[in-house]
Amino acid sequence: MTRARTWTVAVLAASSLGLAACSSSSSSSTTTTAPTAATSPASTVPIGTIADPSAAGTIGTEPTITVPPGAPPTQLESKDLIVGTGPAAKAGDTVTVQYVGVAYSSGKVFDSSWSRNQPFEFKLGEGQVITGWDQGVVGMQVGGRRELIIPPGLAYGAQSPGSGIAANDTLIFIVDLVKIN
């Protein structure tokens, strides 16, 4: 009788673990949401996951961006390459980041805070940066590195802001969240 009870407990435990694994299969790594700047804070916009992200590299050193194959995405895509251990950034926070940006169309770097040896500070969700950053940096943890692929509608649209970014260009950034001020 004791042996039968032991097997029953073992089978129930294994079944519970299997069900727990199935119930968590739809994790937030495939789609996350972030508040939009143009709507109320309760509104959210889906953010897709980058299928073929750049190499993570080492936090605190300038990463290399690899443009994924195929056509650029039509919605904001995000992937944590390194998950930070500090607090998460939220709209209204003043954040300090290091970043590198590459044009999807050319694969060439158009801007890098690392090359200037000067981290960049901005208030998240206040329109001080392109919309793709206001949405894509939300939820990052201090000490983390995130890759963002930003379609033209959340970047500069039909207006080229200058050298290295064409009109209607999709932009790829890798951003390190240095601190929340």
Which residue has better confidence, 69 or 150?
A: 150
- pLDDT class of 51 with cuts at 50, 70, 90: low
Q: Which of 9-23, 107-121, 137-151, 163-177 has the lowest mean pLDDT?
A: 9-23
pLDDT over threshold 60, residue 153 = yes
Identify whether 15 is part of a domain: no
Identify whether 64 is part of a domain: yes
Which residue has better confidence, 35 or 54?
A: 54
State the catalytic residues: 99, 110-111, 130, 156, 173
Q: Which of 28-32, 132-136, 172-176 has the lowest mean pLDDT?
A: 28-32
In what helix (H) or strand (E) does residue 150 lie, and over which residues does it extend? strand 145-150
The domain tally of the chain equals: 1
Identify whether 133 is part of a domain: yes
Q: What is the pLDDT of residues 91-119, one digit of tens each?
A: 999 999 999 999 999 999 999 999 999 99
Identify whether 22 is part of a domain: no
Identify whether 105 is part of a domain: yes
Q: Which CATH number is 53's domain given?
A: 3.10.50.40
Tell me what pLDDT residue 59 has: 86
- pLDDT class of 53 with cuts at 50, 70, 90: confident
Whole-model pTM: value is 0.73
pLDDT over threshold 80, residue 158 = yes
Neighbour-count burial of 36, counting CB atoms closer than 10 A to its CB (0-12 exposed, 13-18 middle, 19+ buried): middle
Identify whether 59 is part of a domain: yes
In what helix (H) or strand (E) does residue 172 lie, and over which residues does it extend? strand 171-180
Q: What is the pLDDT of residues 36-49, one digit of tens each?
A: 333 333 334 567 66
Q: Is 159 helix (H, G, I), strand (E, B) or coil?
A: coil
pLDDT over threshold 90, residue 15 = no
Identify whether 116 is part of a domain: yes
Q: In terms of residue numbers, what domain contains 92? A: 29-180
Percentage of the chain modeled with pLDDT above 70: 72
Identify whether 47 is part of a domain: yes
- pLDDT class of 134 with cuts at 50, 70, 90: very high
Residue 93: left if φ>0, alpha if ψ -120 to 50, beta else—which one?
beta
